[in-house]
Amino acid sequence: MSFAARLDAFHEQAMAAAGGLADFGDPGYLDPLRLLAKDLDCNARLSKLGEQIIAGNIVGDLIARLLEEQGYKSFPQFVEAPIEKPLIIIGMARTGTTVLHRLIGLDPALQTLPMWLACAPMPRPLRETWESNPVFKQVQQGIEQIQQLSPKFKQMHPQSAEAADECRFIFNHSFISPTYSATAHVPEYTEMLKADSGFGKYRRYHKTLGVIGGNTDRRWLLKCPTHLWNLPALLDIFPDACIIMTHRDPVDSITSIVSLVYELIRMAAPSISPQDFAREHSDTWGWVLNKAERDREAIDPARIFDIHFDDIRTDPIGSIERIYRHFDIPVSEAARTAWQQQVREDPKGGHATHHYRPEDFGLTKEGIRRCAGRCYDRYLQVEAARSAPA
How far apart (Å, rounded) are the C-alpha atoms in residues 303 and 306?
10
User: Tell me, what's the pLDDT at 352?
Assistant: 60
Q: What is the pLDDT of residues 287-314, one digit of tens each?
A: 999 999 999 999 999 999 999 999 999 9
pLDDT at 214 over 90: yes
User: Tell me, what's the pLDDT at 390?
Assistant: 65
How many helices (H) and strands (E) the chain has is answered by 20, 5
Report, as an integer, the average pLDDT of 319-342. Answer: 98
Q: What is the pLDDT of residues 223-245, one digit of tens each?
A: 999 999 999 999 999 999 999 99
Residue 95 per-residue DSSP state: S
Residue 275 near residue 362 (C-beta atoms within 8 A): yes
pLDDT at 186 over 80: yes
Residue 175 per-residue DSSP state: T
Q: What is the pLDDT of residues 21-51, one digit of tens each?
A: 999 999 999 999 999 999 999 999 999 999 9
> What is the average pLDDT value for the chain, to the nearest integer?
95
User: Tell me, what's the pLDDT at 182?
Assistant: 87
User: Tell me, what's the pLDDT at 199?
Assistant: 97
pLDDT at 155 over 80: no
User: Tell me, what's the pLDDT at 350?
Assistant: 63
Band of pLDDT at residue 355, cut at 50, 70 and 90: confident
Q: Which residues pair with 376 in a beta bridge?
A: none
CATH architecture of the domain 4-387 equals: 3-Layer(aba) Sandwich (3.40)
Band of pLDDT at residue 156, cut at 50, 70 and 90: confident
Q: What are the structural domain ranges in the chain? A: 4-387
User: Tell me, what's the pLDDT at 123?
Assistant: 96
Residue 164 near residue 221 (C-beta atoms within 8 A): yes
User: Tell me, what's the pLDDT at 129?
Assistant: 97
% of the chain exceeding 90 in pLDDT: 89
User: Tell me, what's the pLDDT at 149?
Assistant: 80
How far apart (Å, rounded) are the C-alpha atoms in residues 176 and 179?
9
User: Tell me, what's the pLDDT at 295?
Assistant: 98
pLDDT at 107 over 80: yes
Residue 18 near residue 63 (C-beta atoms within 8 A): yes
Q: What is the pLDDT of residues 36-90, one digit of tens each?
A: 999 999 999 999 999 999 999 999 999 999 999 999 999 999 998 899 999 999 9
User: Tell me, what's the pLDDT at 147?
Assistant: 85
User: Tell me, what's the pLDDT at 24?
Assistant: 98
pLDDT at 7 over 70: yes
Residue 60 near residue 216 (C-beta atoms within 8 A): no
How far apart (Å, rounded) are the C-alpha atoms in residues 192 and 293?
20
Let me know if 248 is exposed, middle or buried by CB neighbors in 10 A (0-12, 13-18, 19+).
buried
Higher pLDDT, 173 or 151: 173
